[in-house]
Amino acid sequence: MEAKATYRYIGTSPRKMRLVIDLIRGESVDKAIELLTFNPKHAAKDAEKVLRSAVSNLFNKDEESNHEPSDLYVKEAYVNQGPALKRLLPAPMGRAYRVRKRSNHLTIVVALKRKLQEV
């Protein structure tokens, strides 16, 4: 059983978001939330929001069974580039520099850990 959450058009660059996402990929959900909560980077807040949404989606998808957050792990986490806002910055001697304000799309998939079955 797995569930997915996506947050699109986040106003940070994909490169900065990937630094945060690389920390939680493959970790248990408890540890991932702890890492994101105490990470000083601004992108960690958005990543934590998406992770909590993915966990909530899993609980809503399978309401009959009771899963603990410790039974879940981050199966996939990836960042795609979103559209860039193009702006002009005044420069010396009547010139102008282009500024690209980048955005990204974040997707996190959580799944249940498989228990080793005893023979």
Domain CATH code at residue 70:
3.90.470.10
Give residue 62's pLDDT.
81
Using the predicted structure, report yes or no on whether residue 65 has a pLDDT greater than 80: no
pLDDT bracket for residue 57 (50, 70, 90): very high
**Cα separation of the two ends of the chain:** 23
In this prediction, residue 76 carries a pLDDT of 96
What is the tens place of the pLDDT at every residue in 12-52? 999 999 999 999 999 999 999 999 999 999 999 999 999 99
Q: Does the residue 119 lie in any domain?
A: no
63 pLDDT band (50/70/90 cuts)?
confident
Residue 119: count other Cβ atoms within 10 Å of its Cβ.
Answer: 3
Domain that holds residue 68: 2-112
Alpha-carbon span 24 to 10, nearest angstrom: 18
Q: SS3 for 41-84, per residue? A: CCHHHHHHHHHHHHHHHHHHHCCCCCCCHHHEEEEEEEEEECCC
* pLDDT band for position 66 (cuts 50, 70, 90): confident
Here the tokens at position 22 are 């690389």
Total of domains in the chain? 1
Tell me phi and psi for residue 16, to 5 degrees. -70, -35
